[in-house]
Amino acid sequence: MNIGAHIPSKNAIDEITKRKGDTFQIFISSPQMWKSPKPREDVDILQDYKGPIYVHAPYLINVATPNNKVRHPSRKLLKDTCKVAASFGAKAVIVHGGSVGEGGDIAKGYENWRKAIQEVESTGMRILVENTAGGKNSVARYMDSINRLWEEMEISMLDSVLIPVIPGPVAFQQKRQ
């Protein structure tokens, strides 16, 4: 079993070595900004790391929302994050399930998720959907909503979306192949 932590992105390998971890999660761009990650200067060092590396996508991303002004940049930022994560061989990108907001149609949220997955598919990056502890119209909160998202995702990309059931950090849960 790999044990790890969410660590600072800069000098990540030194940071995880200090903590004696086997694996780690990092942000590769500001989690609070609509700004795509830059290519990593330490791509070789990250590629050589023996354990799995996970990337947490920015918090602002909500690919489920009916609001175009949030959904479109969310898809782009998720895709750009996946591209950079793929460049150094990250194991997966973790992204919050998102919500359709007050009065939103949750069925639309799942449909939007399907579109988002289709868009990032070409990057080859695995997506881990993090379930959320709050929000009335979250697409990945309760067992039934998580199950529904799972079913929807299977339509387009069977092995690439993992939905852990415990709210909170999920970086180190992996589906057995």
What is the number of the residue whose Cβ is closest to Zn ion? 130
Locate 162 and state its tokens.
């993992």
Query: Smallest distance from the beta carbon of 56 to Zn ion, in angstroms?
Result: 6
Pattern of binders to Zn ion over 22-61, x per CB under 5 A?
A: ----------------------------------------
Per-residue b or e along 98-112, where b marks 16 or more CB atoms closer than 10 Å to that residue's CB: bbbbeebebeebbeb
C-beta closer to Zn ion: residue 50 or 161: 161
Residues paired with 23 in a beta bridge: 4
Q: CA 65 to CA 9: how far, in whole Å?
A: 28
Q: How far is the CB of 128 from Zn ion (least distance, A)?
A: 10
- Our CB check for Zn ion shows the closer of 21 and 45 to be 21
User: How many residues interact with Zn ion (rule CB under 5 A)?
Assistant: 1
Structure-derived torsion over alpha carbons of residues 68, 26, 54, 99, reported in degrees to the nearest 10: -30
Instruction: Count CB atoms within 10 A of the CB of residue 161.
Output: 20
Nearer to Zn ion, 130 or 152 (CB): 130
Cβ at position 29, least distance to Zn ion in Å: 14
What's the token pair of residue 14?
């030194």
The residues pairing with 55 across neighbouring beta strands, listed in sequence order, are 26, 93
Ranges within 113-142 binding Zn ion (CB under 5 A): 130
Q: State in angstroms the smallest separation of the CB of 6 from Zn ion.
A: 9
List interacting residues with Zn ion (CB under 5 A).
130
